Amino acid sequence: MVTKQLDITKEHCPMTFVKTKIELSRLQPGDLLEVLLTEGEPLENVPRSATEQGFRVLEIIHVKDDIHKITIEK
Amino acid sequence: MNTSEKKKLSIISFSGDFDKLVAAFTLASGSAAVNYEVNIFFTFWGLNAIKKKKGRSFTGKGALARIFGFLMGGVNNVPLSRLNFLGASPGLMTFLMRKRNVATLKELIEASIALNVNLYACEMSMHILGMTKDDFIPEIKSVIGVANFLQYSEGGDRIFI
């Protein structure tokens, strides 16, 4: 099992969930992707689109200020 | 992965303007990222976005077609639909996009390709300009007409940009 990190705190729509999807497509089932993202559009849409596509959002942790870390299992 | 039936978005990319191509590829990559099946049908000026030669070059067959090919250019020459300032604006807009951390047209095209967006070229426009499939980037899935486009886009949303 592999755990990869992705920082999309500087990205905007649609690259927030585009980069997440591209990174997920490179992983094997069971691998984890930790995504650093900001509040607002990314925090609302990235976990939701991951769940809709059948991935599991394991946790969402507040890191600091408006930055959160979500862990997605492929 | 969820294997339930996919939603579908089909874009007719007609204009070939920088800003409208940004809109088309933003919608395409964003929709593909949330698991839509996405088709883009490039027709007329839209073909400039998918030419293999990204700058100005005499592509096509026949003198007139080659002049048109040169004047139209490739994806590096596409004009802004408004305030083009003799071709200076797309470069300025790309500079602003980079500065503000917004994906550039090049990045949006690359993302769309990485997410397996289906790219199709219009057969009729290709013939008018004396071009062949070899004049387009290899990611072009095939050269199709209206009947195929209707078939591929059936059951989904169709938009014209």
ipTM of the complex: 0.85
B36 within 8 A of B6, measured Cβ to Cβ: yes
- Taking contacts as CB-CB distances below 8 angstroms, the residues of chain B near A17 are 30, 33-34
> Looking at beta carbons, which residues of chain A come within 8 Å of B101?
10-12
Nearest CA in chain A to B25: A14
Residue B12 predicted with pLDDT over 90: yes
Average pLDDT over residues B27-40: 96
The fold of B9-160 is Hypothetical Protein Ychn; Chain: A, (3.40.1260)
Please report residues of A whose CB lies closer than 8 A to that of B100: 12
- Could A21 and B32 be called an inter-chain contact, meaning their C-beta atoms sit closer than 8 Å? yes
**HEC states along chain B?**
CCCCCCCEEEEEECCCCHHHHHHHHHHHHHHHHCCCEEEEEECHHHHHHHECCCCCCCCCCCHHHHHHHHHHCCHHHCCCCCCCHHHCHHHHHHHHHHHCCCCCHHHHHHHHHHCCCEEEEEHHHHHHCCCCHHHECCCEEEEECHHHHHHHHCCCEEEEC
**Amino acid (one-letter) located at B120:** Y
Percent of chain B with pLDDT over 90: 65
Residue type, A29: P
What predicted TM-score, i.e. pTM, was given to this entire model? 0.89
What structural domains and CATH numbers belong to chain A? Answer: 3-73 (3.30.110.40)
Instruction: Name which of A7, A15, A44 to mutate to probe chain B: the one with the most chain B Cβ atoms within 10 A of its Cβ.
Output: A15
**Per-residue confidence band for B4, with pLDDT thresholds at 50, 70 and 90:** low
